[in-house]
Amino acid sequence: MSDQVVEADIVIIGSGAGGGEAAKLLSKHFNVVIVEEGPHRTSNDFKMKESIAYPELYQDSGARLTVDGAIKILQGKSVGGSTTVNWTSSFRTPQETLLHWNKEFGIHTLTQDSLLSHFLRIEDEYGITPWDGEPNLNNQLMANGMSKLGIRHGVIPRNVKGCLNLGYCGMGCPTNAKQSTLINAIPRALENGAKLFSQFRVERLIWKNDKIVEAIAYSVTPTGKIEENKKTLTLKAQHFLLCGGGINTPILLMKSDLPDPYFNIGNRTFLHPVTVSLALFNQKVEAYQGAPQSVYSDQFLWPEDDSLGFKIEAPPIHPALTSSLINQHGSEASEMMKRFSHSQGMIALGRDGFHEQAPGGKIVMTSNGRFGLDYPWNDYLTNGYKKALLTMASIQFEAGARSVYPLHRFARSFERLGEVKSFLDSCSVDRYDLQIVSAHVMGGAAMGSDEKNSVVDNDGRFHHMSNLFIFDGSLFPTSLGVNPTESILSFSSLLTHKLIERIK
Ligand SMILES: Cc1cc2nc3c(=O)[nH]c(=O)nc-3n(C[C@H](O)[C@H](O)[C@H](O)COP(=O)(O)OP(=O)(O)OC[C@H]3O[C@@H](n4cnc5c(N)ncnc54)[C@H](O)[C@@H]3O)c2cc1C
Ligand code: SF4
Residue 121: the pLDDT is 98
Ligand 2 close to Cβ of residue 173 (< 6 A)? yes
DSSP string of 415-428, one letter each residue: SSHHHHHHHHHHS-
Distance CA 19, CA 243 (A): 5
**What SS3 string covers 428-441?**
CCCCCCECCEECCC
- Residue 186 in any domain: the answer is yes
**For residue 118, what is the domain's CATH number?**
3.50.50.60
Residue 311: the pLDDT is 98
Residue 433: the pLDDT is 87
18 C-alpha to center of ligand 1: Å?
9
Residue from 96, 3, 109 nearest 302 by CA: 96
Distance CA 102, CA 140 (A): 37
- Residue 56 in any domain: the answer is no
- Residue 66 in any domain: the answer is no
152 C-alpha to center of ligand 1: Å?
29
3-state secondary structure of 138: helix
Ligand 1 close to Cβ of residue 281 (< 6 A)? no
Distance CA 233, CA 210 (A): 23
* Claim to verify: residue 17 and residue 162 sit in the same structural domain: no
Domain boundary among 416, 438, 460: 438
- Residue 493 in any domain: the answer is yes
- Residue 64 in any domain: the answer is no
Residue 176, φ and ψ in degrees, nearest 5: 65, 20
Length of the chain: 504
* Claim to verify: residue 125 and residue 15 sit in the same structural domain: yes
* Claim to verify: residue 428 and residue 307 sit in the same structural domain: yes
DSSP string of 243-268, one letter each residue: ---TTHHHHHHHHTT---TT--TT-S
Reading phi first (left if > 0) and then psi (alpha if -120 to 50, else beta), residue 307 is in: beta
- Residue 162 in any domain: the answer is yes
- Integer-rounded Cα Rg, in Å, for the chain is 22
* Claim to verify: residue 211 and residue 292 sit in the same structural domain: no
Is residue 13 classed exposed, middle or buried when 0-12, 13-18 and 19+ CB atoms within 10 A define those classes? buried
The ligand with the least distance to the CA atom of 89 is 1
Residue 456, φ and ψ in degrees, nearest 5: -125, 155
* 434 contacts 382 by C-beta, under 8 angstroms: yes
Task: Identify the DSSP state of 219.
Answer: E
* Claim to verify: residue 227 and residue 347 sit in the same structural domain: no
* Claim to verify: residue 125 and residue 11 sit in the same structural domain: yes
Q: Which atom of ligand 2 is nearest to the CA of 163?
A: 2
- Write the residue with the smallest CA distance to atom 24 of ligand 1: 245
Ligand 2 close to Cβ of residue 323 (< 6 A)? no
* Claim to verify: residue 252 and residue 275 sit in the same structural domain: no
- Write the residue with the smallest CA distance to atom 6 of ligand 2: 166
Q: Which atom of ligand 1 is nearest to the CA of 488?
A: 23
Ligand 2 close to Cβ of residue 78 (< 6 A)? no
Q: How many CA atoms lie within 13 A of 159 on its CB side?
A: 34
Distance CA 149, CA 154 (A): 14
- Residue 68 in any domain: the answer is no
* 372 contacts 254 by C-beta, under 8 angstroms: no
**Taking the CB of residue 341, how many other CB atoms lie within 10 A of it?**
16
142 C-alpha to center of ligand 2: Å?
21
Pocket test for ligand 1, best of 90, 269, 272, 485 (most atoms within 8 A of CB): 485
Residue 171: the pLDDT is 98
Ligand 1 close to Cβ of residue 440 (< 6 A)? yes
* Claim to verify: residue 141 and residue 256 sit in the same structural domain: no
- Write the residue with the smallest CA distance to atom 2 of ligand 2: 163
* 465 contacts 449 by C-beta, under 8 angstroms: no
Distance CA 248, CA 260 (A): 17
* 111 contacts 102 by C-beta, under 8 angstroms: yes
ipTM of this predicted structure: 0.99
Ligand 1 close to Cβ of residue 83 (< 6 A)? yes
359 C-alpha to center of ligand 1: Å?
22
Domain boundary among 395, 416, 438: 438
* Claim to verify: residue 318 and residue 380 sit in the same structural domain: yes
Distance CA 433, CA 338 (A): 24
3-state secondary structure of 362: strand
* 136 contacts 169 by C-beta, under 8 angstroms: no
pLDDT 10s per residue in the chain (504 long)?
689 999 999 999 999 999 999 999 999 999 999 999 999 999 999 999 999 999 999 999 999 999 999 999 999 999 999 999 999 999 999 999 999 999 999 999 999 999 999 999 999 999 999 999 999 999 999 999 999 999 999 999 999 999 999 999 999 999 999 999 999 999 999 999 999 999 999 999 999 999 999 999 999 999 999 998 999 999 999 999 999 999 999 999 999 999 999 999 999 999 999 999 999 999 999 999 999 999 999 999 999 999 999 999 999 999 988 888 877 778 777 888 888 999 999 999 999 999 999 999 999 998 888 999 999 999 999 999 999 999 999 999 999 999 999 999 889 899 999 999 999 999 876 778 888 999 999 999 999 999 999 999 999 999 999 999 999 999 999 999 999 999 999 999 999 999 999 998
Domain boundary among 438, 467, 485: 438
174 C-alpha to center of ligand 2: Å?
7
* Claim to verify: residue 299 and residue 222 sit in the same structural domain: no
**Taking the CB of residue 320, how many other CB atoms lie within 10 A of it?**
13
* H/E element, 323: helix 319-326
Could you list the residue range(s) of the whole structural domain that residue 345 is in?
137-169+269-438
Ligand 2 close to Cβ of residue 291 (< 6 A)? yes
- Residue 57 in any domain: the answer is no
Pocket test for ligand 2, best of 159, 161, 165 (most atoms within 8 A of CB): 165
* 33 contacts 194 by C-beta, under 8 angstroms: yes
Q: Domain tally for the chain?
A: 2
Residue from 485, 9, 447, 460 nearest 242 by CA: 460
Distance CA 372, CA 71 (A): 12
* Claim to verify: residue 25 and residue 108 sit in the same structural domain: yes
Ligand 1 close to Cβ of residue 276 (< 6 A)? no
**For residue 383, what is the domain's CATH number?**
3.30.410
* Claim to verify: residue 463 and residue 345 sit in the same structural domain: no
